[in-house]
Structure 1
Amino acid sequence: MSSVQLTHLRHVDLAVPDHDRQLAFYTDVWGLTRTADDTGVSFLAAEGSPEQYVVRLREADEKRLDLLAFGIATPRDADVLAERLAGAGVRLICEPGALPTPGGGYGFRFFDVDGRTVEVSSDVAPRRHRRIEAREPVPVRLSHVVLNAPDIGRTRAWYERHLGFRLTDTMRSPQDGDLMYFLRINSHHHSVAFSRGPHTSLHHISFELRGLDEYLRASGRAVRSGATKLWGPGRHLAGDNAFTYFLDPHGNTLEYTTEMEQVEEDTWHPHVYDASQAQVTDQWGTANPWNELVAKESFNDPDRGCFIAPPL
């Protein structure tokens, strides 16, 4: 396990064939703010977050997850982590150095065990952000990302060993065994979770709202826009967070959430939750049932970007 700790989830970068349609959805419907762009590339911020952007959209022939980006405290920590990853046989995409993206900073990229591109960075200039007001239904920040993997035990072990993630909770089926691992790098219940699926892919990206009222107003705006609502509204037991899931124009699942549980590091003991119990997946009992259709959409399309670094 790495003694150099990541600090937080910075952004999730997506490639899509129809950039303009995706951009319109993420800004006009989902409530993100376009802060910078180039030909076929857009950087989208959450109004309440100091991150320069929480989503990057890139036009490409094929849909894929371009990368996940995490913060680290200092350039020295980035150097140490890069050296340790290389020494452990992890394939680096680039050596640590200055980043050309908005806000600059210092970082590097590498492939995880499933072939996803991961970026780690420090010293990124903070964006001028603002307090989200009552009844304002726009995301405060990027909450977490959930990823599908055929062997979640292997993927979990890799992230714990090399990047210092800690297990918070497990979702288990009496018939099928472990279905999901929730992992943290700070006090938030999870920044990443791994869900067992038939292939490597994006499960969902989650965005934090100010509170329950704002979360419901944002969910209502998405419903009224005609966006496909996949699951919710409800409240999970693992993480104790509210949820509503929607599909973006390219079939990626997005979540509005709020009131994520905060973990006391010295006293937390991981739970094992029985996924067959209705109150585990939805404490409120207000969401539509989790069924094969919802599960199929959550599996998403196989990621075509495994072990292929994005061009930028």
Structure 2
Amino acid sequence: MNDRLITHLRHLDIAAPDYAKQHEFYTDLWGLTPVAEEPGISFLAAEGSPEQYVVRLREAQEKRLDLISLGAADETSVDAMAQRLAGSGVQLVSEPGTLQTPGGGYGFRFFDVDGRTIEISCDVAVRRHRRIEEQESVPIKLSHVVINSPNPERTRRFYERYLDFALSDTLFHPNMGEAMYFMRCNPQHHSLAIARGPHVSLHHASFEMRGIDEYMRGTGRLLRNDIKKVWGPGRHLAGNNTFSYFLDPHGNTVEYTTELELLDEDTWHPHLYDFSDPEVSDQWGTANPMDEFVAAESFNDPDRGLFVAPPV
């Protein structure tokens, strides 16, 4: 779709009480690079990504998802999106203007229908990045973010109506109904997915690796360091991507992935996949079963930051 105002996913910002543990995990183990720091805040880049940073950590008394950042092509697109949202009664957190985060740029923030803070920006300076070499098991980029909602149908409608996201595929279960919507803002199968959960929270954040070998080496590094594995390694049917899910020190699920499907949007038709079929969840049959433990970990803790803008 050439008329989309949103182009891609930029970064995920999270807060937690034990900042030092989070920082150590995301840098020493997960493989991100600190690019800017001040007391209680750090901006972490993926070595293969032109984005200034893909994760921002902040020290706070309560764990929360601070915001999800999305990219737009130019100031005209940012202004048009702000006008569209404000004109429809969506609460803006800030008006379009110059950003004070690394790389600068132009953007604004608003609350989505569930109360998450979303940022839309353009003209952020491109970070000098590099090619990830063979056997180098560090993330290339932030691949996608999955969010939990007790009313995923409403959340899906919000992102379709106001942000021009399109449905790629749906997961359903005979006893649960539709459980997850995979949403795209470009030819990548999904940059955002919306899962049915008991409360609003972060389901997981996924990071793209160079290839299968690098993905497995990264998975092995986390296992050797006794990081709690939630699910994997395996390969999904929806999106055709690999997966290994782990818990960060504060219980957020993070994923290594690779080979997420790129779609021909002119010919693509969404599928309805029954994930009670084991091959839908894991084509290879190598992952531990999708059971109540896996589902419960992905529910995460209720987000304490709904309709409250982060201080940074």
Q: Which residue of 2 aligns with 1:78?
A: 78
Distance in structure 1 (CA, Å) of the matches to 2:222 and 2:12: 20
Q: Which residue of 2 aligns with 1:172?
A: 172
Distance in structure 1 (CA, Å) of the matches to 2:2 and 2:234: 36
SS in 2 for 1:48: coil
| Letter of the structure 2 residue corresponding to residue 9 of structure 1 | L
What are the within-5 Å matches in structure 2 for residues 255-294 of structure 1?
A: 255-294=255-294
Q: Does 1:158 align with 2:158?
A: yes
Q: Which residue of 1 aligns with 2:247?
A: 247
1:69 CA drift (Å):
0.1
Distance in structure 2 (CA, Å) of the matches to 1:87 and 1:2: 23
Q: Does 1:107 align with 2:107?
A: yes
Moved over 3 A (4+): 1-4
What are the within-5 Å matches in structure 2 for residues 51-90 of structure 1?
A: 51-90=51-90
Distance in structure 2 (CA, Å) of the matches to 1:70 and 1:7: 7
Q: Does 1:27 align with 2:27?
A: yes
Q: Which residue of 2 aligns with 1:5?
A: 5
- The CA deviation string for residues 75-102 of structure 1, in whole angstroms up to 9 with x for no partner, is 1111111011000000000000000000
Distance in structure 2 (CA, Å) of the matches to 1:55 and 1:243: 19
SS in 2 for 1:256: strand
1:215 CA drift (Å):
0.1
In terms of mean alpha carbon deviation, does 57-66 or 77-86 score higher? 77-86
Is the 1:2–1:163 contact (alpha carbons within 8 Å) kept by the matching residues of 2? no
Q: Which residue of 1 aligns with 2:205?
A: 205
**Identity percentage over the alignment?**
65
1:4 CA drift (Å):
4.5
Q: Does 1:295 align with 2:295?
A: yes
Distance in structure 2 (CA, Å) of the matches to 1:5 and 1:68: 16
Is the 1:189–1:261 contact (alpha carbons within 8 Å) kept by the matching residues of 2? yes
Q: Which residue of 2 aligns with 1:130?
A: 130
| Letter of the structure 2 residue corresponding to residue 310 of structure 1 | P
Q: Which residue of 2 aligns with 1:230?
A: 230
Unaligned residue ranges in structure 2 (runs of 5+): none
1:3 CA drift (Å):
4.7
Q: Which residue of 2 aligns with 1:41?
A: 41
SS in 1 for 2:58: strand
Number of aligned residue pairs: 312
Distance in structure 1 (CA, Å) of the matches to 2:48 and 2:32: 10
Is the 1:4–1:80 contact (alpha carbons within 8 Å) kept by the matching residues of 2? no
SS in 2 for 1:12: strand
Q: Does 1:215 align with 2:215?
A: yes
Is the 2:5–2:78 contact (alpha carbons within 8 Å) kept by the matching residues of 1? no
Distance in structure 1 (CA, Å) of the matches to 2:4 and 2:92: 17
Distance in structure 2 (CA, Å) of the matches to 1:286 and 1:56: 32
Distance in structure 1 (CA, Å) of the matches to 2:225 and 2:9: 28
CA RMSD between the two structures = 1.1
Is the 1:275–1:281 contact (alpha carbons within 8 Å) kept by the matching residues of 2? yes
Distance in structure 1 (CA, Å) of the matches to 2:263 and 2:191: 12
Give the structure-2-normalised TM-score.
0.99
Distance in structure 2 (CA, Å) of the matches to 1:43 and 1:97: 21
1:175 CA drift (Å):
1.5
1:152 CA drift (Å):
0.5
Give the structure-1-normalised TM-score.
0.99
SS in 1 for 2:268: coil
